[in-house]
Amino acid sequence: MSKNENHPATAHSVRGYLIVYVALIVGTILTVWASFIHFPSREINIVVALVIAGTKGSLVAAYFMHLISERKMIYSVLSCTAIFFTGLMALTLWALHDFPSLTVTH
């Protein structure tokens, strides 16, 4: 199976996986706790929750999905995806909030 050894050795990485697991649990508790705090504005709640979710997501992607030590080809595919994903979100939202100045809204 040595031919297929494209990831760091497995035996001692179990500890790494467990650390990530604990971090994810802590993150979950943290985000629930943060949601019950009334920050001065709801925007801060949103930012805090998304930052925690982003961190947890990155941990899963980086360690469980091994993206931290993946091949260049995978990175290229995923960066394209990330760019188009951002484009889809950003341009759609921009388009839907850029109205001609005299538009009557109610």
Q: Closer to other proteins at the Cβ: 68 or 88?
A: 88
Site for other proteins in 10-49 (CB under 8 A): 10-11, 13-14, 17-18, 20-21, 24-25, 28-29, 31-32, 35, 42, 45-46, 49
Q: Tell me the C-alpha distance between 31 and 25, whole Å.
A: 10
Q: Which ranges in the chain belong to alpha helices (H)?
A: 13-35, 42-59, 72-97
Among 12, 56, 6, smallest CA distance to 31 is for 56
* Among the listed residues 39, 44, 68, 92, the single contact to other proteins using CB under 8 A: 92
Structure-token pair, residue 101: 């100045």
**Contact yes or no for 69/8 (Cβ under 8 A):** yes
Q: Residue 56 CB: number of other CB atoms within 10 A?
A: 19
Q: Closer to other proteins at the Cβ: 14 or 40?
A: 14
Which residues of this protein are in contact with other proteins, per CB under 8 A? 1, 3-4, 6, 10-11, 13-14, 17-18, 20-21, 24-25, 28-29, 31-32, 35, 42, 45-46, 49-50, 52-53, 56-57, 60-61, 64-65, 71-74, 77-78, 80-82, 84-85, 87-89, 91-101, 103
